[in-house]
Amino acid sequence: GMDFNHSFATYCIAKKVSPQFIVESGVWKGHSTWLFEQACPLADIICIDPRPDFRQYTSNQASYRTEDFGMIDWSFVEPD
């Protein structure tokens, strides 16, 4: 998980960049998912984690995948 300094930096960068689409690889307890959700409330968030049993926070804004990153069909993502 992230400590305070990494959490603060992640939040500030995400807020400044304001991406439309975020891919989080490795969710663990869900802390960074929550940060992205707060910093970028309009972003589509895809969370990839093969072990969802550790997750303590589940976002209604994010979609969750358990398959390997390379096995996901990313054709639904529209390029800029």
Q: What are phi and psi of 3, to 5 degrees?
A: -90, -175
Q: Give the whole-angstrom CA distance, residue 52 versus residue 71.
A: 17
What was the pLDDT predicted at 11?
97
Q: How many CB atoms lie within 10 A of CB 79?
A: 3
Extract the tokens encoding 31: 């802390």
Extract the tokens encoding 34: 């929550």
Asked whether residue 79 carries a pLDDT value surpassing 80, the answer given is no
Asked whether residue 80 carries a pLDDT value surpassing 80, the answer given is no
Full-model pTM? 0.88
Predicted confidence (pLDDT) per residue in 11-68, tens digit:
999 999 999 999 999 999 999 999 999 999 999 999 999 999 989 999 999 999 999 9
* DSSP SS3 for 25: strand
What was the pLDDT predicted at 41?
97
